[in-house]
Amino acid sequence: MKEPVDHELLKYDREHIWHPYTSMKDPLPVYHVVSAKGVRLTLGDGRKVVDGMSSWWAAIHGYNHPQLNRAIRDQVADMSHVMFGGLTHRPAVELATLLIDITPAPLQKVFFSDSGSVSVEIAIKMAIQYWSALGRGKKQRLLTIRSGYHGDTLGAMSVCDPITGMHHLFRGMVPEQYFADSPRCGYQDEWNEEDIAGMKNLLKDHHQEIAAIILEPIVQGAGGMRFYSPQYVRRVRELCHEFDVLLILDEIATGFGRTGTMFACEKADISPDIMCVGKALTGGYMSLAATLTTQQVSDGISSGETGSFMHGPTFMANPLACSVAIASIRLLISSPWEKRVRAIEKQLERDLHPCQNFPHVHDVRVLGAIGVVELRHPADMARVQERFINRGVWLRPFGRVIYTMPPYIINKKDLGQITGAVIEVVEEEGQP
């Protein structure tokens, strides 16, 4: 028997709880989730929907996984939290060991934090403090590309796209950074050296004040779900060496297999000076992030005026989060994740192809376990979400982009339910 929707709960939520990217005056609708298992969310009215979002790309193993559940239970019996200043614990050491093992070889130092945005803040501070320690304190600016997204805190927001990132609302508070045009060469396009010209010119003119370039490698996520050429990333790496600038790669959305390689930078066969990871780090169970860097950067910072890196979150290296992250990474690397992601990629390519025939569709693109349908005009988010829910699917589009990043464990039937719903809803969006 279906339980009735808890109307009082939803009423209180609407009146008092501020959800992300929405208005309290006219909020977007929310749906009451009572449980989650596998790839399905169970709603308060008894309906079950296939989650095509992996809870904002984090729940790569699905929900309620027995191995991840066990990691939480086992750890909480010992300790749920302990401060990381002056103390350490086995989960932090084991997780750092795993991260160093699976990331590019030059990355040898791990700084834990509690969210992706904070890991980007840490990366920016690392780059600035590194150059300051070397007596080059003028290098305090960042260079990036348009259409990017790196988080919602002030420093991270400063390197988000200046238009979609709403910089003008915080003018005078958000640091002003340098922006090159977004790469025009798509992931499979033939490389055109002109694509890097804007970035190169900015470096020529301003490298004395630029501490680092920050990029989402290969895939620009929340800024538009754009895929670009690995050669662009290679050329940026070369330019960083040429102009004595650090390279920060934001792998928060792309890390842990989402693009078909463990980290997207592997597609460009390069390694950064600093890397940010988060989201899927814990398999979607708890908030945790990490910023990794090289011996060179850590030695430089440690030889400076303070002798230490000036950051320290209260819940840094939380033992529960570290334990479930260890379990998630081990589960990933022991599974046929590459085969699963390839299968998802092939089905997304096949199933979403009909959308290319709709005149109101600008582009259809797929990379790894990411499928994107870009419309020519923005979709009505509330209307589109309701249509997906009515088809037994949970997707959350934004702007002109309707996309899916499903859990890796999804089967063909459930993925087909997602792609079928996308085709139907996209087709309806083109009707008057």
The per-residue pLDDT for range 235-270, each reduced to its tens digit, is 999 999 999 999 999 999 999 999 999 999 999 999
CA dihedral of 407, 411, 415, 417, whole degrees rounded to 10: -130
CA dihedral of 175, 176, 182, 187, whole degrees rounded to 10: -30
Phi, psi values for residue 368, rounded to 5°:
55, -135
Q: What is the mean pLDDT of residues 63-69?
A: 98
What stretch(es) of the chain map to CATH 3.90.1150.10? 7-64+336-429
Instruction: Give the H/E segment covering residue 16.
Output: helix 7-16
Query: In whole angstroms, what is the distance from residue 318 CA to residue 383 CA?
Result: 39
Query: In whole angstroms, what is the distance from residue 344 CA to residue 81 CA?
Result: 37
Q: pLDDT at residue 369 above 90?
A: yes
Query: In whole angstroms, what is the distance from residue 75 CA to residue 91 CA?
Result: 9
pTM: 0.97
Q: For 23-134, where are the E strands, in sequence order?
A: 33-37, 40-43, 48-51, 107-113
Q: From the candidates 11, 12, 21, 74, give the one annotated as an active-site residue.
A: 21
Predicted pLDDT of residue 1? 37
Which tokens belong to 382?
């509330």
Q: pLDDT at residue 173 above 60?
A: yes
HSE-CB for 198 with a 13 A CA cutoff: 13
Burial class (CB within 10 angstroms; exposed 0-12, middle 13-18, buried 19+) of 360: middle
Residue 279: active-site member: yes
Query: In whole angstroms, what is the distance from residue 207 CA to residue 204 CA?
Result: 6
Predicted pLDDT of residue 4? 56
What stretch(es) of the chain map to CATH 3.40.640.10? 68-334
Predicted pLDDT of residue 127? 98
CA-based nearest residue to 51, from 425, 418, 352: 418
Q: What is the mean pLDDT of residues 379-387?
A: 94
Residue 26: active-site member: no
Sequence-distant (6+) residues with CB within 8 A of 307 are: none
Q: From the candidates 63, 130, 149, 228, give the one annotated as an active-site residue.
A: 149
Q: From the candidates 51, 161, 195, 250, give the one annotated as an active-site residue.
A: 250
CA dihedral of 6, 9, 12, 17, whole degrees rounded to 10: -130
Q: pLDDT at residue 355 above 70?
A: yes
Stronger pLDDT, 186 or 306, i.e. the higher one = 186
What is the fold, at CATH topology level, of the domain defined by 68-334? Aspartate Aminotransferase; domain 2 (3.40.640)
The band of 5, judged by pLDDT with boundaries at 50, 70 and 90, is low
Stronger pLDDT, 431 or 260, i.e. the higher one = 260
CA-based nearest residue to 110, from 240, 72, 119, 58: 119
Q: From the candidates 114, 279, 403, 414, give the one annotated as an active-site residue.
A: 279
**Gyration radius of the chain over CA positions:** 22
Give the whole-number percent of the chain exceeding pLDDT 90: 93
Which tokens belong to 45?
């009215």
Predicted pLDDT of residue 163? 85
Phi, psi values for residue 431, rounded to 5°:
-90, 145
CA-based nearest residue to 396, from 19, 55, 44, 10: 55
Question: What is the identity of the amino acid at 41?
Answer: L
Sequence-distant (6+) residues with CB within 8 A of 306 are: none
CA-based nearest residue to 375, from 424, 416, 427: 427
Cβ contact 290:281 at 8 Å: yes
pLDDT in tens, 262-312: 999 999 999 999 999 999 999 999 999 999 999 999 999 999 888 899 999
Q: What is the mean pLDDT of residues 97-124?
A: 98
Q: pLDDT at residue 168 above 90?
A: no
The mean of the pLDDT values for the chain is 96
Q: For 53-129, where are the E strands, in sequence order?
A: 107-113
Query: In whole angstroms, what is the distance from residue 145 CA to residue 179 CA?
Result: 5
Please, what CATH class does the domain formed by 7-64+336-429 belong to?
Answer: alpha beta
